[in-house]
Amino acid sequence: MSELLRVEREGPIASVVLNWPEKLNALSFASWSELGKQMRELSADTDLRCVILRGAGDKAFAAGADISEFPDLRADSTQGRTYGELIHDTMLAVSDCLHPTIAMIRGVCVGGGLEVALACDLRICSEGSRFGIPINRLGLTMGYGELMGLLAVVGPAVAREILLEGRVFDAHEARDKGLVHRVVDQAALEDEVRATAARIVAGAPLVARWHKRFIRRLSAQLSLTEADWNEGYACFDSEDYREGLAAFLAKREPRFKGK
């Protein structure tokens, strides 16, 4: 597997580690692809009973997508859709995993990193964690395939607040918004996640799998047309996206014109 992703096994528990700590575990195109591949392989392993997702190091779960790739890989709506479909496929690989999944969150968990965490069944974070989806500063939208996960967890009111403000906020506010289930001391995070995984493993694995399947069936989703899906990537053809991306890479304030 890629050096940007590490899978560790300990009996019936697997840990998937986003492994780019020098870039706060940002997700490159290759990382998204490898994460989806590994999650599908783990889902097919019926000896497993729980999967933990975490970031390497102590500064980040994941700081979103690797924006330095965007000029080459998300330059227009056609490329944007290709990239967005990969993210959607990866989100489905996480959310549809046969086994219960836990996101162990420490440090920064924003943008695409938060999307990965939201695709997990449980989210447990440390006190110093930070959350948000500040993509409005990039002139960038969440495609429908990404937005589904946010809406499923927090609903439309909180989703609007997160996306319209683009604010980054602390762990306790994240818990208040329903983004995470538990907030624990930094030193206790790994023990709490391990204890949670142990409780899951102690239960009947078929029951856990059935409950995941039943909940998915009861979570109704809108039927979207092809035109709807295409509109989800229209931002990549806008002047504001080109300005937002240029400003981010140049470390300056963007000057948006609404075009």
Percent of the chain's residues with pLDDT above 70: 98
Nearest to 122 by CA among 143, 142, 94, 148: 94
Contact predicate 119/94, CB 8 Å: yes
205-234 residue pLDDT tens: 999 999 998 998 887 666 778 888 788 788
- The overall pTM is greater than 0.75: yes
What local confidence, expressed as pLDDT, does residue 222 receive?
65
C-alpha pair distances (Å), 16 with each of 51, 84, 248:
7, 22, 29
Q: 3-state class of 62 per DSSP?
A: strand
Structure tokens belonging to residue 23: 């870039």
Average pLDDT over the chain, rounded to an integer: 93
Query: Comparing C-alpha atoms, which of 59, 52, 77 is closest to residue 143?
Result: 77
Backbone angles phi, psi at 111, to 5 degrees: 55, -130
More confident: 178 or 244: 178
64-99 burial string, b = 16+ CB within 10 Å, else e? bbbbeebeebbbebeebbebbebbbebbbbbbebbb
Structural domain boundaries in the chain = 5-187
Q: Taking CA 130 as the corner, what is the angle to CA 124 and CA 66, rounded to the nearest 5 degrees?
A: 105
pLDDT of 238 strictly over 80: yes
Q: How many residues would you count in the chain? A: 259
> Where do runs of H (alpha helix) occur along the chain?
29-43, 70-73, 77-95, 112-118, 144-165, 171-176, 189-202, 205-218, 226-231, 239-250
**In sequence order, which ranges of 63-103 are alpha helices (DSSP H)?**
70-73, 77-95
Confidence at residue 57, expressed as pLDDT on a 0 to 100 scale = 94
252 has a pLDDT exceeding 60: yes
CB atoms under 10 Å from CB of 218, counted, come to 7
Fold entry, domain 5-187: 2-enoyl-CoA Hydratase; Chain A, domain 1 (3.90.226)
119-135 pLDDT, tens per residue? 999 999 999 999 999 99
